[in-house]
Structure 1
Amino acid sequence: MALHPEIARILGTLPPPPPGPLNPGAMRAGEAAQVPPLEDRLPLYSVEDATAATPTGDVPVRIYTPVDADAYGLLVYFHGGAFFLGSLDTHDHVARALAKETGHKVISVGYRLAPESAFPAGLEDCYGVVRWAAGHGESLNWDGKNLAIAGDSSGGTFVAAVAAKAHDDGFDAITHQVMFYPSLDLDFDEDRYPSMRENAVGYGLETAGLKPFNSFYLENGADPADPLVSPIKREDLTGLPAALVITGELDPLRDEGELYGQRLTVAGVPATVSRYAGAGHGFVQHFSWLPEYHRAFEETGAFLNAEIPNAEILNAEIPNAEILNAQAGR
């Protein structure tokens, strides 16, 4: 299927990237300039900024309460941005939509970014906030049931890594993990997955841009061979929380997300993989105003609120797992 016509139209209006190396400061300022004013954002019962005290320091969080109720499931959200972009503000609309469509209280994490903070600073912040949320259930009006984690792109990397880290630590409170087009293999070998070549050019995120965009992270202590950096390299996936993996048909990262979902299922973890047609990378952040892609939030709500998660593959023609495992270097 071709790129969604509205996405194609908007991508066609964007200027080419400036020459020379990436400038984090300038790129962050450009993102900040696109944040809509408060009055134009989705209204919720309450949105408040707070600080989570974690073992590695205080972490800024933003807490979204969808409606007035006695108790809520909790959803801790990690924004994307190739580990050096994104903020509580740039992904505020994502957190608001997640709160509205899931009915959960959402805690968005303002984790430390590369290159100013070396690995594993951002990961530690995300994990620390999850533990903080579980420990402050009473003040957060947690219903004691769902404690879910969700993230898009590099935030999806942190979701998989936090789920694994929690399991290894014996912290079993996490009930669900939701990954929107996650980056799960930071090797970036173009021949590793078919989607890296099939979707290399013309759909927004391009395969050639993966290495420079992630260089701020990889050059500051993050080793692609480490399963906490490239979660798909983790050998044992048993015992992890139920998963929803949402991918874009035209995303270079499509196949690694879908392989991860397959491997979770093989390991006995209830996992749903859902591929969105006509979508490239970043469609939840940038194009969820289109009804076809707003459905990702509704699907997340259905997943979190189901009594028993189902394992299934939706709308995806996923290559044979053995082939992809070989391509992933397994």
Structure 2
Amino acid sequence: MPLSDQAQALLDMVYRVGAPRFHELSVAQARHSFEKLQFVFGGEPEAVASTLDVPLSRTDGSALIARLYRPLDAAPTEVLPLLIYFHGGGWCVGSVQSHDALCRRMVNRTGCAVLSVDYRLAPEHPFPAAVEDALFATEWALTHAQEFAFDPARLGLGGDSAGGNLALVTALRLRDRGAPALRCLCLIYPCTEIESSRPSREAYASGYFLDRESLSWFFERYLPDGDTSDWRVSPMRAHSLADLPPTIVVTAECDPLRDDGIAFVERARSEGVPAEHVDVAGMVHGFVTLGKWFPEANEVVDLISRKLRGHLAKVTVPE
């Protein structure tokens, strides 16, 4: 299927006006451009029961900031399942604010709390800073579950693009540490490999929003030494994907990362992981946060939220 009419219209507009692409901008300009894109084309922010910007304090005195959302229909003291969310943006751009509308929609439809993490960005903080922040935020949430009315036995991880990479890497690290099992993973067009020769990388390398040059721009800043061999960079290089929790993977048809996501689903299934694949026809990378422009964005968020609600539901033990 070709690009949807809405996707084609957006791309026509972007390329017609000659909007600079990420690789043509400074880091500060790229961050501003990304935030502006989300503001103009993102979904309308929904009302939620509460939001709280929480400092995740480290023992060395430093802290990350994360935003905690509680769904509109939740009682103030109700103990809720928790989805920890890592925003996309190539490890270089994006923020809690850029993904605010998405997290608000997800929190109301999943019925769980959502903790959106402002991990450190490259190039100021290259790999492995974001990886370490993602693990720290997850372990912090487990430690503070009672304080913030989370159920530590009902924990999921999610993220889009680079954030999907961080969610997956964190799940593998928790598994290797023998941590309590996660309930689910939600990976939205995740980056599973930095270097890839699968057909979609070339088929959608130019003119489909996430251009070849922009991918390189992100990778070079996240990995200034160019070493892509570490599995925490490319989780498809992990020795095993076995024992991951039930996993939802969303791909966009016209996305250079699509075939890498599909290859991950196939490998995960072959190693016993209950992996579900949602492929969205006619869409480009990044569409999920652009709910004001793409009706498919809201449809997909509602679909995966229903699936997450099921995975994170309280298990009734027969008496």
TM-score (norm 1): 0.85
How far is 1:120 from its partner?
Answer: 1.0
Q: Contact between 1:179 and 1:244, CA under 8 Å: does it hold in 2?
A: yes
1:305 corresponds in structure 2 to 309
What SS does the corresponding residue of 2:115 show, helix, strand or coil? strand
2:154 corresponds in structure 1 to 146
> d(CA) in 1 for partners of 2:232 and 2:32?
29
Whether 1:204 aligns to 2:209 is: yes
Whether 1:277 aligns to 2:281 is: yes
- For 1:307-322, list aligned pairs within 5 A: none
- For 1:250-269, list aligned pairs within 5 A: 250-269=254-273
> d(CA) in 2 for partners of 1:169 and 1:85?
30
Residue 208 and residue 176 in structure 1: after superposition, are their counterparts in 2 closer, same or farther (change >3 A)?
Answer: same
Q: Which moved more, 1:135-144 or 1:287-296?
A: 287-296
2:316 corresponds in structure 1 to none
How far is 1:83 from its partner?
Answer: 0.7
> d(CA) in 2 for partners of 1:11 and 1:129?
36
Whether 1:60 aligns to 2:68 is: no
How far is 1:36 from its partner?
Answer: 4.4
Whether 1:16 aligns to 2:18 is: yes
Q: Which moved more, 1:127-136 or 1:49-58?
A: 49-58
Q: Which moved more, 1:288-297 or 1:73-82?
A: 288-297
| Aligned partner letter, 1:305 | R
| Aligned partner letter, 1:24 | V
> d(CA) in 2 for partners of 1:105 and 1:289?
26
| Aligned partner letter, 1:269 | V
1:26 corresponds in structure 2 to 29
Q: Which moved more, 1:295-304 or 1:58-67?
A: 295-304
TM-score (norm 2): 0.88
Pick 1 or 2: higher relative contact order, CA cutoff 8 A, min separation 6. 2
What SS does the corresponding residue of 1:146 show, helix, strand or coil? strand
Whether 1:3 aligns to 2:3 is: yes
> d(CA) in 1 for partners of 2:20 and 2:287?
23
Residue 18 and residue 308 in structure 1: after superposition, are their counterparts in 2 closer, same or farther (change >3 A)?
Answer: closer
- For 1:107-256, list aligned pairs within 5 A: 107-187=115-195, 189=196, 192-219=197-224, 223-256=227-260
Residue 215 and residue 288 in structure 1: after superposition, are their counterparts in 2 closer, same or farther (change >3 A)?
Answer: farther
What SS does the corresponding residue of 2:83 show, helix, strand or coil? strand
What SS does the corresponding residue of 1:294 show, helix, strand or coil? helix
> d(CA) in 2 for partners of 1:251 and 1:27?
20
1:41 corresponds in structure 2 to 45
What SS does the corresponding residue of 1:249 show, helix, strand or coil? strand
Per-residue CA deviation, residues 108-143 of structure 1 (Å, 9 max, x unaligned), is 000000000122111111111111111111122123
Q: Contact between 1:244 and 1:300, CA under 8 Å: does it hold in 2?
A: yes
Per-residue CA deviation, residues 115-173 of structure 1 (Å, 9 max, x unaligned), is 00122111111111111111111122123442011000000110111011111111124
1:95 corresponds in structure 2 to 103
> d(CA) in 2 for partners of 1:307 and 1:22?
41
Per-residue CA deviation, residues 260-315 of structure 1 (Å, 9 max, x unaligned), is 11111111111101100011101112246533221222222222232599xxxxxx
> d(CA) in 2 for partners of 1:30 and 1:289?
17
> d(CA) in 1 for partners of 2:36 and 2:264?
35
Residue 35 and residue 18 in structure 1: after superposition, are their counterparts in 2 closer, same or farther (change >3 A)?
Answer: closer
What SS does the corresponding residue of 1:31 show, helix, strand or coil? helix
> d(CA) in 1 for partners of 2:168 and 2:153?
20
Q: Contact between 2:188 and 2:249, CA under 8 Å: does it hold in 1?
A: yes
Q: Contact between 1:28 and 1:85, CA under 8 Å: does it hold in 2?
A: yes
| Percent identity of paired positions between Structure 1 and Structure 2 | 32
Q: Contact between 1:102 and 1:297, CA under 8 Å: does it hold in 2?
A: no
How far is 1:28 from its partner?
Answer: 1.4
Q: Contact between 2:289 and 2:297, CA under 8 Å: does it hold in 1?
A: no
> d(CA) in 2 for partners of 1:86 and 1:308?
27
Per-residue CA deviation, residues 62-107 of structure 1 (Å, 9 max, x unaligned), is 0111132312110000001011100111111111111122111000
| Aligned partner letter, 2:29 | A
Q: Contact between 1:251 and 1:279, CA under 8 Å: does it hold in 2?
A: yes
> Unpaired runs of 5+ in structure 2?
314-319
Counting matched residue pairs gives 303
What SS does the corresponding residue of 2:142 show, helix, strand or coil? helix
Q: Contact between 1:245 and 1:273, CA under 8 Å: does it hold in 2?
A: yes
Q: Contact between 2:184 and 2:312, CA under 8 Å: does it hold in 1?
A: no
> Unpaired runs of 5+ in structure 1?
310-330
